[in-house]
Structure 1
Amino acid sequence: MKNFLSNITSLAFAALVLVACETNKEEEVKPEDAREYRFIRVMVNDETARTLSLVDPVKLTVETFEAGAPKAALYRTEAGRFGALVHGTSNFVQFFDSGLEGHGDHVDVAGTPKWAALTGTGNRPTHFKSKSDEVITFNDGDGTLSVAREADFHTANAKMEVISFGGVPHHGAMTRFNNGTYAVTEKDGSVPGTLPERVRVIDRSGRTLFASTIQTAGIHGNASDGNLSLFGSASGILVVDQSGRQRLIAYPADFGDAWFGSVLEAGGAGKFIGFTAAKGAYLIDPGANTITPIHAGADVMQAKVDYAGNQLIVLTHSGEVHIYDLKTNGAPKRGSVLPATASEETQKPQLEATSRFLYITQPKTGELLVVDINDFSRKRRVKVSSQPYRLAILGQESDAGH
């Protein structure tokens, strides 16, 4: 009898262990949350109307606001709380406050979504950057910078401060280093047209700290991690550091006349990406002085880094999306998300992404397409305006409130 009870006890214990193991196993393979982060918003503007739409992708609700003009370029600040609308032809920059303020381990809701008080009135503002608490535009009309700090965004009648550094009008660009100085393009006239050929380093007063040492055959597109700034040029990737040192990274031998007109920073992965429609998207390694293919091909319609800076998202004209994990370099995810888009279309779908979802404008239907990154067949649509033009993701990849 005693042995019988002992056997029963042993069997019961083994069953409990088995159930516990199975429970743990289920928890380990629990599918990822199929919702977007609670504190993410998507800002979408329109090509012909002044409508600005703020989409809550969890609730699929839309709040609308009236922008200063249609067809602005849209950006977000580095911290994610504010969006920027750059109206180049109207000499006007607006800022929009999502009210979602990140504090590392949680997010505060700092009021309702609204326009910030601060504005910019530079001469044809075009290129936009945000670093730390500072926002910057390059003003093509007179070759100046306009800068402001987020602390002044809700100061009544506040304006962006203009920094002059002896430049001339050109289609320029800039980056901000961690030490507070700026790498800015300059035009010496050696190349016809509006593209600049050189880069110098200046301080906030506009004083030149380090003059250009390399002349290129034209510059367009740039990115920075705060220590190094990379500029796409027809002569190679121009690398500039905080101490003014400059060098070129050569393009692959098969590039011919192609060159990167777009350079992206993948901050989460600590990498730089170069893109040209003629050749595709490539990894730029300034440490090794190499440029290697990530997605080679001439069918790329959009190439974007996701919100966290960990993934490269490539959308092709055929309607396929390719997602590359820049941290693990694992096999890419691939699938069809759209019908094909003709390369001659004047207004193509525009793409942005978080770590969970893709957001793609649909100019012909007035919708924002929301696609689950883990299941491309899981799609939702939300009506935003008549002809959605550009989009930007605001807020934080977090579900934790205060």
Structure 2
Amino acid sequence: MKRWLFTTVAALALVGLAQQAPGAHPGRLVVADAKDGSLKVLDLETAQVVGTFSTPGPANVYPVTGTPYVFAVHREANRVSVVYSGLRLEDHGDHKDLLLEKPYVFATLNTGPKPTHYFNHGHHVAIFNDGDGTVAVFDTRKLGVVADFRDYATGAPDHGAPVVMGDALLSGSLNRGVVEVYTLAGRKVLEFPGCPRLHGEAVAGNTAAFGCDDGVLLLERRGNGFAARKLAEPAGSPANARVGTLVAHEAHPFFIGNFGQGLARLDARFTPYPLPANPVRFAFSADGRYLVVLTADGHLHVLEPADGRVLRSLGVVGPVAAGGEGAVRPSLAVGTGHAYVADPQKGVVLEVELANLQVRRSFEVGGTPGSLALVRLEGVRH
């Protein structure tokens, strides 16, 4: 009897520990080759490629927040692929188990001609199709069951920037310099002009931001509508500086955008963050603690998000040439404690620890790695 009691108590203690300790699996990295269009899934625990897939063509890859899926957007092939990373959470009521499975391509879709800008927020993914001006909107809760989407027509081909906020679709237009607001039933309800050469979008809280040639357009959700506010560039800004890419994180009440040879914090004011060279890629760490920037001189920088102070810098790749026909630029994916930099010239992906900015591992993936997407899920591992 005593032996049975000891075994039972020990088992219960182990279950309790398993439930309290989150899975330590570092995640999987989807690597898109910029030349042959292949996709590789790299397991960051074993450092092994656990899946390789041929696709319709070269792609930019993007993780879907809170899911095991990655979208691969093949602009020139007019296709979108949905890739299952092989990480799966199994619900057990008071905890979720993390299971490791074989990755696969869940679906390859025709969302429209020239799919380009990708946006993910909440339970939606939106992809703007430059070729006809339509926006494809997915409900991410359905991924793994179906890969259907709804089309929204904006009227004309363009280079667009889509945002989904709750029950509203905001569609920004580069050529027309406007943001149009649609209900998810497809009815156009509002239009906001005054954003010339609109490019780039992000959401922070109840506000959406769009980059303009002369500043940033902010649309704040108020009840069933939106209120617009324009942040103008500071006086004396360089003529060729503009915000064209935006990022945000729920831990911070502001946006970060590129701006000439540096970045800018965007909230009630437009505050430039100077850098040693032009930013090529930038992102928040997954926990929002750091702002991580890859600059054109090949250096990786860790910044304090609130004030732009450069905390650490490290050379990781060679100087990045200006974009041109066939040029492949290094890519960046950022987790909580590590950043991953793809070097297309050497066919490697570097793992850089953010706390001390040291290269911890180098993964020989071969080919021309051109885009990265990191998938990591928290769960119990038995």
Displacement of 1:368 in angstroms is 0.9
Residues 109, 270 of structure 1: alpha-carbon distance in 2 compared, 3 angstrom cutoff: farther
Q: Which residue identity does 1:385 align to in structure 2?
A: G
Matched, 1:208 2:188: yes
Larger Rg computed on CA atoms: 1
Displacement of 1:378 in angstroms is 3.9
Q: Which residue identity does 2:81 align to in structure 1?
A: Q
After TM superposition, list the pairs within 5 Å mapping 1:373-388 onto structure 2. 373-388=354-369
* Cα contact 2:56–2:79 (8 A) shared by 1: no
* Cα contact 2:30–2:374 (8 A) shared by 1: yes
Aligned counterparts of 2:30 and 2:205: Cα–Cα separation in 1: 26
Displacement of 1:109 in angstroms is 2.3
After TM superposition, list the pairs within 5 Å mapping 1:350-389 onto structure 2. 350-389=331-370
Aligned counterparts of 1:51 and 1:393: Cα–Cα separation in 2: 17
Structure 1: 5+ residue stretches without partners? 1-35, 187-193
Aligned counterparts of 2:274 and 2:112: Cα–Cα separation in 1: 37
Instruction: Tell me whether 386-395 or 142-151 shows the greater mean CA deviation.
Output: 142-151
Matched, 1:338 2:313: no
Deviations 1:144-187 (A, max 9, x none): 1111223433346x44221224x21100011111x32111124x
* Cα contact 2:30–2:41 (8 A) shared by 1: yes
Displacement of 1:73 in angstroms is 1.1
Displacement of 1:132 in angstroms is 2.1
After TM superposition, list the pairs within 5 Å mapping 1:1-400 onto structure 2. 37-101=24-88, 106=96, 108-109=98-99, 111-117=101-107, 119-155=109-145, 158-165=147-154, 167-177=155-165, 179-186=166-173, 195-212=175-192, 214-225=193-204, 227-242=206-221, 243-257=225-239, 258-276=241-259, 278-285=260-267, 288=268, 290-326=269-305, 332-344=310-322, 346-396=327-377, 398=378, 400=380
Aligned counterparts of 1:176 and 1:119: Cα–Cα separation in 2: 20
Aligned counterparts of 2:29 and 2:127: Cα–Cα separation in 1: 22
Cα RMSD, aligned residues only? 2.6
Q: Which residue identity does 1:383 align to in structure 2?
A: E
Aligned counterparts of 2:253 and 2:194: Cα–Cα separation in 1: 28
* Cα contact 1:352–1:360 (8 A) shared by 2: yes
SS at match of 2:199: strand
TM-score, with length taken from structure 1: 0.79
Residues 215, 377 of structure 1: alpha-carbon distance in 2 compared, 3 angstrom cutoff: closer
Displacement of 1:58 in angstroms is 2.3
Residues 235, 356 of structure 1: alpha-carbon distance in 2 compared, 3 angstrom cutoff: same
Q: Which residue identity does 1:123 align to in structure 2?
A: P
Displacement of 1:265 in angstroms is 1.1
Displacement of 1:111 in angstroms is 4.4
Structure 2: 5+ residue stretches without partners? 1-22
Aligned counterparts of 1:315 and 1:365: Cα–Cα separation in 2: 17
TM-score, with length taken from structure 2: 0.83
Displacement of 1:72 in angstroms is 0.5
Residues 370, 85 of structure 1: alpha-carbon distance in 2 compared, 3 angstrom cutoff: same
Displacement of 1:400 in angstroms is 3.6
Aligned length: 350
Aligned counterparts of 2:88 and 2:75: Cα–Cα separation in 1: 28
Residues 196, 304 of structure 1: alpha-carbon distance in 2 compared, 3 angstrom cutoff: farther
Displacement of 1:98 in angstroms is 1.7
Displacement of 1:136 in angstroms is 1.2
| Structure 1 or 2: more strand by fraction | 2
* Cα contact 2:277–2:296 (8 A) shared by 1: no
Instruction: Tell me whether 384-393 or 254-263 shows the greater mean CA deviation.
Output: 254-263
Residues 390, 340 of structure 1: alpha-carbon distance in 2 compared, 3 angstrom cutoff: same
* Cα contact 1:183–1:202 (8 A) shared by 2: yes
Deviations 1:352-376 (A, max 9, x none): 2112112111112211111222333
Displacement of 1:198 in angstroms is 0.4
Displacement of 1:348 in angstroms is 2.5
Q: Which residue identity does 2:360 align to in structure 1?
A: K
Aligned counterparts of 1:52 and 1:311: Cα–Cα separation in 2: 28
Displacement of 1:339 in angstroms is 4.6
* Cα contact 2:246–2:257 (8 A) shared by 1: yes
* Cα contact 1:195–1:220 (8 A) shared by 2: no
Aligned counterparts of 1:295 and 1:98: Cα–Cα separation in 2: 37
